[in-house]
């Protein structure tokens, strides 16, 4: 609704009554009402003739609504006048006599392209009231404010929609579904090279070399089976909790990793001791008076009671370096296969009689060969398999067969270093 200010305070009424004698004297000296009326007539005539000025000086009784109606014959354009004059008009609800409103850009929009506003009228207009006009100086400020909201009209000016900035150009093409699937498959096929992973190291097995290892005993799974077992063996699967009876004077802590293993057999020839086959990895979760509770976090074989447990050996990741080919490398011999099979195959483990003290490192590559016998009619040297070292001990190492050309890998066959990891 239109708001009209009648009287702001009793002080305003007193000031108005006191100003009446002064106004009477001023009006006798200079008829400012006539000047205002002359200005309004001039501006209206200019707007009627199409000679629209580039600016307008506000006089008493005008509103943005009436100014838009006078110049553009459309009162609903008053928000555009306010938008172009926000530096002059602080509040669109109130404008004051003497304020100069810019209409230049507004005229271009209202008149259409190709029509330029006539500024000669603005230059020749000398009737407009100056900021120090007598009426503007006499009338109190509280009663000079003009409400510019038209009656019974609601105009809502919506802010322009925000557009998210993007730097995508016409050359930036989005990848299709097929290309995205190809990227995923390529990530699987073209993985970064690693000579050895932790799972290969811990699952390889080793020879005890006659050493007295700090074995504990796996008591079994702590959970009670919901199904009647026909066997007396208590087994555990991945992420299940097991109980371990540690050896005498052992020091275990929560968070320690434990290697679960079984003793496969003892080697009779040489000082190699027993064949240790890993079955899983467990992590200690609680320390009790007579036992240690641990959770199975890795599994290579079935974990059950009666198996052995010992502190896990730390794994030193060799990184992504590749072994360097060497000529006339170190010579060693096959001790025996970890798992006895009639025919040797790829991904099987074999032990050799060289270890850390001889310079063997994780990731070294050896080849197993049968040397030439040297007699008349005999065959030349024959390479039967290639193995990579995945576990090292002091005097022995464990190799994983990565290539095999002949299944006859007999005990005692010579092996030769062909690729060496940088030290």
- Give the bridge partners for 236, in sequence order: 303
Residues 205, 207, 213, 215: what is their CA dihedral angle, to the nearest 10 degrees?
40
- The pLDDT score that the predictor gives to residue 400 is 95
Phi, psi of 239 (to 5 degrees): 70, 10
DSSP per-residue string spanning 373-420: --STT----EEEEEEEEEEE-SS-EEEEEEEES-S---TT-EEEEEEE
Predicted confidence band of residue 255 (pLDDT cuts 50, 70, 90): very high
Q: In which element (H, E) is residue 369 found?
A: strand 365-370
Distance CA 197, CA 414 (A): 27
Task: Write the burial class of residue 59 (CB in 10 Å: 0-12 exposed, 13-18 middle, 19+ buried).
Answer: buried
- Report the first-to-last Cα separation within the chain, whole angstroms: 89
- In this structure, of 129-133, 237-241, 249-253, 339-343, the range with the lowest mean pLDDT score is 129-133
Query: Which domains can be identified in the chain, with CATH numbers?
Result: 10-147 (3.10.350.10), 198-311 (no CATH), 324-420 (2.40.10.410)
The residue-averaged pLDDT of 5-34 equals: 46
**51-74 confidence digits (pLDDT tens):** 678 888 999 889 988 988 888 888
Residue reference for tokens 């507004």: 106
Chain segment 218-232, per-residue pLDDT in tens: 999 998 877 777 777
Q: For 11-25, 137-151, 239-253, 323-337, which range has the lowest pLDDT when averaged over its residues?
A: 137-151
Instruction: For residues 267-281, give the mean pLDDT.
Output: 92
- With contact defined as beta carbons under 8 Å apart, do 415 and 387 qualify? yes
Question: Is the confidence at residue 210, as pLDDT, over 80?
Answer: yes
**E-assigned strand segments in 76-180:** 94-95, 100-102, 146-147
- pLDDT tens, position by position, 283-314: 999 999 889 999 999 999 999 999 999 999 99
Any idea what the Cα angle at residue 96 is, between residues 92 and 97, rounded to 5°? 140
pLDDT for position 159: 65
Query: Is residue 354's pLDDT more than 90?
Result: yes
**pLDDT category of residue 132 using cuts at 50, 70 and 90:** very low
pLDDT at position 8 is 46
Compute the distance between CA of residue 355 and CA of residue 330 in angstroms, rounded to an integer. 11
Whose CA is closest to 282, among 255, 250, 258? 258
Contact 206/299 with Cβ under 8 angstroms? Answer: no
pLDDT band at 41 (very low <50, low <70, confident <90, very high): very low
């Amino acid at each position: 609704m239109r708001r009209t200010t009648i009287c702001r305070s009793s002080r305003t009424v007193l000031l108005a009554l006191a100003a009446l004698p002064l106004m009477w004297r001023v009006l006798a000296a200079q008829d400012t009402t006539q000047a205002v009326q002359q200005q309004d007539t001039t501006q209206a005539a200019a707007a009627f003739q199409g000679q629209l000025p580039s600016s307008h000086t506000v006089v008493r009784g005008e509103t943005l609504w009436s100014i838009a109606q006078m110049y553009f014959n459309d009162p609903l354009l008053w928000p555009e006048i306010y938008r172009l004059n926000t530096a002059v008009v602080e509040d669109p609800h109130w404008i004051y006599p003497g304020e100069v409103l810019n209409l230049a850009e507004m005229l271009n929009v209202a008149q259409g392209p190709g029509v330029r506003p006539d500024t000669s009228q603005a230059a020749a207009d000398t009737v407009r009231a100056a900021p120090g006009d007598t009426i503007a100086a006499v009338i109190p400020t509280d009663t000079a404010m003009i409400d510019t909201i038209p009656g019974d009209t609601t105009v809502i000016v919506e802010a322009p929609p925000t557009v998210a900035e993007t730097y995508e150009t016409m050359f930036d093409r989005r990848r299709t579904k097929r290309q995205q699937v190809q990227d995923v498959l390529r990530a699987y096929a073209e993985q970064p090279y690693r000579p050895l992973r932790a799972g290969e190291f811990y699952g390889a097995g080793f020879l005890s070399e006659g050493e007295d290892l700090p074995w504990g005993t796996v008591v079994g799974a702590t959970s009670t089976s919901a199904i009647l077992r026909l066997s007396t063996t208590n087994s555990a699967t991945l992420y299940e909790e097991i109980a371990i009876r540690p050896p005498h004077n052992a020091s275990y802590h929560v968070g320690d990793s434990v290697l679960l293993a079984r003793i496969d057999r003892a080697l009779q020839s040489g000082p190699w001791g027993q064949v240790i086959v890993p079955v899983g990895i467990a992590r200690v979760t609680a320390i009790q008076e007579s036992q240690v509770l641990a959770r199975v976090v890795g599994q290579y074989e079935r974990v059950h009671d009666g198996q052995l447990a010992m502190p896990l050996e730390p794994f030193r990741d060799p990184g992504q370096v590749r072994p360097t080919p060497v000529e006339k490398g170190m010579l060693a011999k096959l001790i025996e296969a970890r798992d006895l099979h009639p025919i040797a195959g790829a991904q099987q483990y074999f032990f050799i009689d060289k270890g850390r003290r001889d310079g063997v490192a994780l990731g070294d590559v050896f080849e197993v060969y049968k040397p030439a016998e040297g007699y008349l009619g005999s065959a030349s040297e024959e390479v039967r398999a290639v193995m990579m070292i995945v576990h090292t001990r002091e005097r022995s190492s464990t190799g994983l067969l990565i290539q095999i050309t002949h299944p006859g890998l007999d005990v005692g066959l010579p092996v030769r270093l062909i690729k060496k990891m940088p030290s």
